[in-house]
Structure formats: structure tokens, C-alpha cells
């Protein structure tokens, strides 16, 4: 497939305001690709060069792209910068300059999708002395032989700002329609994606082997599994009802969720975050402990890394633990904030997946390979059918400084990437007023007024993720909790992802001064959840859900969470029900 043909579809996607139209357009594009290029096409359409866990990113600096555009078109860099400031989009600037370029095309070659993909991979992998000039030259050569429309998307891709607004679920539905004629196969594709966390592999397998091949995608080492998620319930009695009268009750640790992959033969260990980011270089002591303390030839285990003072038997607050997630000063921080990994599940052991086994068997397997239990320990737990015992255990862990408990159905399998009642969380906040935080997606921002006018930033329009529809629904405007530094920082980051119109996957009745692509997540606290005609979260009969007195509590953008990791519409409805029960019982 020629990249110019893909660019035509990208332009259609960019101008689409309906998610169903996006699915139709994307499915048409995918159906025209060959089995040897569909993986690369999916990555390009996502705006990435690989699945997130491989960590290959391009993110070329704007100044490099400006030089490449100038060199490819025969204009000065200053002219390019002036036009960019006016357009606000370097992709549009590249398109305009290629359309009026002073220089002849350096080649009559027409790029294929694979040509563009491989060129971008080479740019991303170029490093060392002289790499900046080499990257500029490679991008210039691409632009010099591109049509204006191709230049728009090549430039945006190089900057990491493709802006097509496609979510994982939307791509899965488009794949289903492209290869089966309907969206009905999405659940099968989603299950495979939850296991391999790689949309490119899902698309390639579907193209080459059909649905049968998709159904046989297996767990592999160093291909992280999308983590299982938990539902909420407010009482021990309701928990036991959902778990068939008996369950395991584990301590819920407020730390960094980690998925550890270990292969003893090659002495290789990788650590992945909850959103599948590679964390391995940040936690050298976890790598060492995995090789030293996990007695298995190969394994994938899951746990929560938390700052823990063994001498005082005290857990450190999350604010201290999160400091360990950094790229610099790692050795010092590992001494200042020592971690303990409390492991609670195992998904793979010695060449075989264990996800299909019931929780009780998985726990026995986990116990069998954690013999030393020094730094890598088992999560604390009890097994009970007594609601009073659950409440007693809950109160004990709260006194220890933890955030609550996790109840697990003894017979449940590990359900990757899904929120099921096989895991149920009960936190301190569910037993009283709404003090639990919400992780919200920024959907737009408002201009400042009064004292904030100088920052040109007055607050955020924020929403939740509707996982069933793969859309984002508004739930609040946030105008408090910002420092001056945060206002400046947020505006700078949001300006990079401004959208000309409301993104297709955003469902909103409130209109901000500027829409942005749903990308960044912030943590918010509110006094309570209310019903409102202004917001679209869970809207029914004209009323949605909204937050009363919301305020920002995170230091800024949550880099450890993607938009699809945000609080969901379903969770908000659950939290509203829990809040209402608490009020009625008080």
C-alpha cells in the first residue's frame, strides 16, 4: 500500500466527528492492506513505532523538524517558524511548504507504508555523535519526495503528534469489521489483545490466520499481559455474596503495580507498569531480588512495590514511593526509599500459562516459588466466609497505614484487561463520605479570567472513560488546586495537543475554549458525586453524573496512566451507589 493512500484515509479520520464513521473509515483502510504490512500500518495509525513495552519512540524535537522542512522545500528555517506560529501545527506547516516548495522532488519514488515505517524506525534508532544531523537529513529526504498531504502526517508522526484520536477499542472494532464483515468479533480480538498487549500482532495474526489464529494467541515472556482490574463494593456482606460465600481477603497496598517477567536461563528480568511501560532500569534492586528470590526457571508474577521500613514495620506513603519512578538519581533513591514487592498473583510458570487456573491454585504456585521472601514477599491475606472477620481485617490494615483490602473469588481465573467481580476492592473511602480520588482525562481547557488572565489558563474540562463505547464523557470543570507553575506547565502541554473541533470519541454538552485530544490524566478529589444536566457521564433521561467541589490533587499530569486507564463511567456509577448507601446508613 502506498503511504499517500493511507494519508487520504488519515485526513478522513481527522475530519470525522462520529466514532462509528471512524470505525467504517479505518476498517476500509485496514481491509486494503496486505498481511505483510498490516502490523506496520496499525502502528503508524496509532502514532507509534512499536507496542509501548518495547519502548521505541521517535518524538523528534520541533527544531529538527523545522530544519528538515526548510531543507526539503528551499525556504529558510525562519520562514518555517513564522508559518508554524501562525498555523499552530507543524504538520500543516509542512504540508503548506511542500505544496509551494522551491525545490524539485529529489525522487519520483512513491513511498509505501513499510517505507515510511522503516524510515521512522531508523530515525528513532539513530544515536551518538552526529545523530542530530543524520535525523534531520533522513526526515528531509522523506519530505522531499512526499506529496503535501503525506508531509502533514509524516511530520506529525515524527513529532509524536499524529492526532487521529483512535482508541484501542476503536481499532479492534475496525479490525473486526475489516476481516469478518461486522464488529461482532471484537470480544475475541480484545481477549487476544489483553494477552499480548500488541495491536499490531493482533492485526497481523487476524490477517494471516483468521479468527482461529487469534483464539490461539498465547502468553509469552517479555510480552506483558494487560492487568486484571477490580470492581468496588461497600460492605463485607455484598462481597461474600459476589464471591459465592467464601473468598480470600488480601491487603491492598498503595504502591506501584508491577508485572515481573523472569527468564533464569538468560538471566533476563523485565518490569512493566500497570500501563505496560518498561520500568526495569528504575528498580535495580527488584531485578536482583527477582533472580535471587524467585525459584522458577521462568515466570510472570504481579505485585505492588511499596516503600517499606522493615525495622519499624511501617509502610511509606504513596507520595514517597512514587519518587522511585524516575530516570535519574536511581542509586540514591533506592537507598533513601527502599522497596518491598508484595506479590499477589502469577500468570506464567516454567513455560506454561497459569491464568486459566483458579485463584486458589495460582496462589499455591506463587507460594511455592517464593521461598526466601526477603524483598519479594507474598501479599498478606486471610480466607474467610465471615463478614465480621472481613471487617476486622479491614480495620487492621487501615491501622497499618494501607488503603483497604482486595477480595478475590477462590475459583476465579485471571481475567486480563477486564473489570470483573472476581476481584473486589474495599477502600476506606467507601465506608463514609466520598474521599476516594478519581483519575480524569483532560478533554479541554478554559481561558483565564481576572487574576488568571495572564496565564491564559483558567481551568480544565475533564471526563471519564466509557470502556463499553470507547468514548470519553465529561464529568466536571476543574478550577481549583492549581499552582502558578502547574497552570503554566499544563497550558504548555495542552497546547501541543489542541484539536480544531471536538474529538470524535468525546461526548460533551459543555464546550471549553479549546478542545484537546484525550491523552493526559490528572487526579482529582471532590466532596461528592451529584446528578447534573450539564455533563454526559452515564447520562440517562437527561441527567448525567458530576462532581461537587472538584480540585486537583496530583502534582500534575499522571505520566503512569494513559487515557484508557482513567476512572470509568461504570466506576462512577458504582461510587455514586456506594455514596448513597453510606448517606442512608448514617
CA distance 324 to 307: 9
Grid cell of 497 as nine digits: 495537543
Residue 529 near residue 576, CB atoms below 8 Å? yes
Residue 445 near residue 459, CB atoms below 8 Å? yes
The residue from 39, 252, 425, 427 that is catalytic is 252
Phi/psi for 91 (5° steps) reads -65, -45
Helix residue ranges, H only, 101-198? 113-125, 131-144, 148-159, 168-180, 186-196
Active site residue 252: yes
Phi-psi region of 191 (alpha: psi -120 to 50; beta: other; left: phi over 0): alpha
Helix residue ranges, H only, 77-147? 77-87, 90-99, 113-125, 131-144
Residue 96 near residue 82, CB atoms below 8 Å? no
Residue 475 near residue 440, CB atoms below 8 Å? yes
Angle between helices 131-144 and 62-73 (to 10 degrees): 50
Among 187, 193, 162, 160, CA closest to 173: 187
Residue 26 near residue 46, CB atoms below 8 Å? no
Query: 3-state DSSP call for residue 323?
Result: helix
Among 420, 431, 390, 417, CA closest to 250: 390
- CA atoms lying within 13 Å on the CB side of residue 352: 5
CA distance 331 to 539: 49
Give residues with Cβ within 8 angstroms of 311, minimum separation 6. Answer: none
Residue 439 near residue 557, CB atoms below 8 Å? no
Tell me which DSSP letter residue 242 carries: H
- CA atoms lying within 13 Å on the CB side of residue 296: 26
Among 477, 478, 480, CA closest to 451: 480
Element (H, E) at 455: none
Give the length of the chain. 586
Catalytic residue numbers, as ranges? 252
Amino acid at each position: 500500500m502506498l503511504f499517500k493512500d493511507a494519508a487520504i484515509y488519515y485526513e478522513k479520520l481527522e475530519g470525522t466527528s462520529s466514532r462509528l464513521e471512524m470505525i467504517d473509515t479505518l476498517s476500509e483502510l485496514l481491509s486494503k492492506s496486505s498481511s505483510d504490512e498490516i502490523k506496520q500500518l496499525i502502528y503508524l495509525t496509532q502514532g507509534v513505532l512499536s507496542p509501548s513495552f518495547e519502548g521505541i519512540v521517535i518524538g523528534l524535537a520541533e527544531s529538527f523538524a523545522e530544519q528538515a522542512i526548510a531543507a526539503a522545500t528551499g525556504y529558510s528555517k525562519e520562514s518555517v517558524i513564522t508559518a508554524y506560529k501562525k498555523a499552530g501545527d507543524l504538520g500543516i506547516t509542512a504540508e503548506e511548504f511542500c505544496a509551494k516548495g522551491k525545490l524539485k522532488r529529489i525522487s519520483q519514488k512513491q513511498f509505501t507504508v513499510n517505507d515510511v515505517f522503516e524510515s521512522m524506525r531508523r530515525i528513532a534508532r539513530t544515536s551518538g555523535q552526529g545523530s542530530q544531523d543524520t535525523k534531520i537529513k533522513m526526515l528531509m529526504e522523506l519530505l522531499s519526495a512526499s506529496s503535501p498531504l503525506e508531509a502533514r502526517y509524516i511530520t506529525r508522526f515524527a513529532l509524536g503528534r499524529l492526532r487521529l484520536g483512535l482508541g484501542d477499542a476503536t481499532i479492534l472494532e475496525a479490525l473486526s469489521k475489516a476481516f469478518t464483515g461486522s464488529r461482532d468479533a471484537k470480544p475475541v480480538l480484545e481477549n487476544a489483545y489483553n494477552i499480548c498487549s500488541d495491536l499490531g500482532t493482533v492485526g497481523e495474526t487476524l490477517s494471516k490466520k483468521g479468527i482461529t489464529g487469534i483464539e490461539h494467541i498465547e502468553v509469552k515472556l517479555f510480552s506483558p499481559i494487560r492487568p486484571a482490574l477490580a470492581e468496588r463494593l461497600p460492605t463485607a456482606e455484598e462481597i461474600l455474596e459476589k464471591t459465592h460465600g467464601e473468598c480470600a481477603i488480601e491487603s491492598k497496598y498503595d504502591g506501584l503495580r508491577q508485572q515481573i517477567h523472569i527468564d533464569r536461563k538468560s538471566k533476563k528480568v523485565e518490569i512493566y507498569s500497570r500501563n505496560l511501560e518498561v520500568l526495569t532500569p528504575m528498580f535495580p534492586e527488584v531485578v536482583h531480588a527477582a533472580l535471587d528470590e524467585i525459584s522458577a526457571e521462568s515466570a510472570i508474577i504481579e505485585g505492588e512495590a511499596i516503600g517499606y521500613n522493615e525495622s519499624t514495620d511501617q509502610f511509606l506513603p504513596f507520595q514517597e514511593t512514587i519518587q522511585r519512578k524516575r530516570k535519574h538519581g536511581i542509586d540514591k533513591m533506592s537507598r533513601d526509599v527502599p522497596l518491598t514487592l508484595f506479590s499477589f498473583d502469577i500468570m506464567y510458570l516454567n513455560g506454561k500459562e497459569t491464568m486459566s487456573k483458579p485463584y486458589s491454585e495460582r496462589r499455591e504456585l506463587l507460594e511455592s516459588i517464593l521461598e526466601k521472601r526477603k524483598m519479594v514477599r507474598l501479599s498478606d491475606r486471610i480466607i474467610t466466609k465471615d463478614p465480621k472477620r472481613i471487617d476486622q481485617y479491614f480495620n487492621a490494615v487501615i491501622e497499618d497505614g494501607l488503603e483497604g483490602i482486595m477480595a478475590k473469588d477462590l475459583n476465579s481465573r485471571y481475567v486480563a484487561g477486564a473489570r470483573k467481580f472476581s476481584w473486589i476492592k474495599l477502600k476506606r473511602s467507601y465506608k463514609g463520605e466520598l474521599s476516594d480520588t478519581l483519575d480524569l482525562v483532560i478533554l479541554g481547557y478554559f481561558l483565564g479570567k481576572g487574576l488568571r488572565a495572564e496565564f491564559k489558563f483558567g481551568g480544565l474540562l475533564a471526563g471519564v472513560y466509557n470502556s463499553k463505547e470507547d468514548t470519553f464523557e465529561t464529568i466536571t470543570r476543574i478550577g481549583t488546586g492549581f499552582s502558578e507553575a502547574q497552570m503554566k506547565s499544563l497550558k504548555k502541554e495542552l497546547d501541543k495537543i489542541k484539536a480544531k473541533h471536538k474529538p470524535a470519541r468525546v461526548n460533551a454538552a459543555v464546550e471549553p475554549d479549546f478542545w484537546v485530544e484525550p491523552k493526559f490524566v490528572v487526579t482529582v478529589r471532590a466532596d461528592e458525586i451529584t446528578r447534573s444536566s450539564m455533563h454526559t457521564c452515564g447520562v440517562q433521561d437527561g441527567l448525567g453524573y458530576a462532581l461537587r467541589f472538584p480540585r486537583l490533587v496530583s502534582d500534575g499530569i499522571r505520566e503512569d496512566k494513559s487515557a484508557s486507564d482513567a476512572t470509568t463511567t461504570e466506576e462512577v456509577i458504582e461510587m455514586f451507589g456506594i455514596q448513597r448507601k453510606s448517606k442512608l446508613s448514617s
